[in-house]
Amino acid sequence: SGRPECGQCQTAELLDALWPGVHVSPAALARAVYKARRALGDAGAPHRVIATVHGVGFRFVAPLRR
């Protein structure tokens, strides 16, 4: 998919992965990300877990732990 950065997902890629074969608007994805942010305590700006990449999609920005 030619992602420029690790952890970054294009909107169309996420829509296809989350709702395969179903026509879903980008607004539905934005709502799902909003709910995920709230569940993770990431409702404030700047976001610490899921950042918006304007014109592209979203990026997971939280540090990973093993």
| Residue 48 to residue 16: CA distance in whole angstroms | 25
Span 7-63, pLDDT tens digits: 788 888 889 998 999 999 989 999 999 999 999 999 888 889 999 988 888 998 888
Name 59's bridge partners.
8, 51
Q: In the β-sheet with 57-60, what is the strand arrangement from edge to edge? A: 8-10, 57-60, 50-53
pTM: 0.75
